[in-house]
């Protein structure tokens, strides 16, 4: 994964430079759906992990000195978590995790003057501020109901989207993004129950940016 990101960055930043660098600032917001890949899987007769919905929002700063690539930094809030549900066993449990997240992304864009497509790709760090529980817990598996061991999270983010832009009006942007956490929520030593507990989040976001340079 590191080699792929490095190769992408090298190839991208070898592109022709702009006569004058560009800077954009803006804000984003949208809906999230998340889950946790537990290994071993959370047991139970129903054995169903659903994708609870949440929301995310934050600020964007984008700097570009090349014709097809920019650097984009974000700082925002995101709701993540998971849901366990079984109608036959009578449990419906949701864990909501509240994160502050900071992605550092290569923003690669293509298309015409006023309408362009883009790809975002890069690393992301996050910190869990709080955890909330609701609903009825199952009894077949209870390891996942402990307090989270690792509040700090790190991973990779990638997105695909489209935007329309006009210098006097600004940039209106729509993006679908995925975030995969390399860090585990719980300790994963041999003495622990879970070998891994990685978060996976998808989001659909709308953003508005204004060119300041």
Distance CA 183, CA 164 (A): 35
> Which CATH number fits the domain that encloses residue 93?
2.40.160.20
- pLDDT at 14 > cutoff 60: no
pTM given for the model: 0.85
Distance CA 116, CA 181 (A): 29
The residues facing 124 across adjacent strands are: 103, 155
The secondary element (H helix, E strand) that includes residue 7 is helix 2-12
The range of the structural domain enclosing residue 69 comes to 2-211
Distance CA 200, CA 181 (A): 6
Helices and strands counted in the chain (H then E): 1, 9
pLDDT for 98 equals 98
Rounded mean pLDDT of the chain?
88
pLDDT digits (tens, 9 = 90+) for 143-188: 899 999 999 999 999 999 999 988 788 999 999 999 999 999 999 8
User: How many separate domains does the chain show?
Assistant: 1
């Amino acid at each position: 994964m590191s080699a792929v990101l490095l190769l992408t960055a090298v190839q991208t930043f070898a592109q022709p430079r702009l006569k004058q660098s560009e800077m954009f600032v803006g804000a984003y917001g949208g809906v999230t759906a998340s889950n946790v890949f537990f290994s071993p899987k959370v047991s139970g007769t129903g054995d169903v992990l659903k994708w609870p919905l949440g929301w995310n929002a934050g600020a964007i700063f984008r700097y570009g000195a090349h014709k097809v690539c920019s650097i984009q930094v974000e700082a925002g809030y995101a709701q993540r978590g998971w849901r366990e549900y079984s109608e036959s066993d009578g449990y419906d449990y949701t864990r909501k995790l509240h994160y502050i997240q900071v992605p550092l992304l290569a923003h690669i864009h293509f298309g015409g003057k006023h309408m362009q497509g883009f790809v975002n790709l890069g690393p992301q760090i996050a910190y869990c501020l709080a955890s909330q529980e609701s609903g009825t817990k199952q009894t077949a598996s209870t390891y996942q109901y402990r307090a989270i061991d690792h509040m700090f999270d790190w991973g990779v983010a990638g997105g695909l989207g489209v935007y329309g832009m006009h210098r006097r009006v600004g940039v209106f942007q729509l993006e679908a993004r995925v975030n995969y956490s390399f860090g585990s929520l719980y300790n994963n030593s041999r003495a622990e129950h879970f070998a891994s507990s990685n978060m996976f989040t998808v989001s659909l976001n709308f953003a508005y940016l204004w060119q300041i340079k």
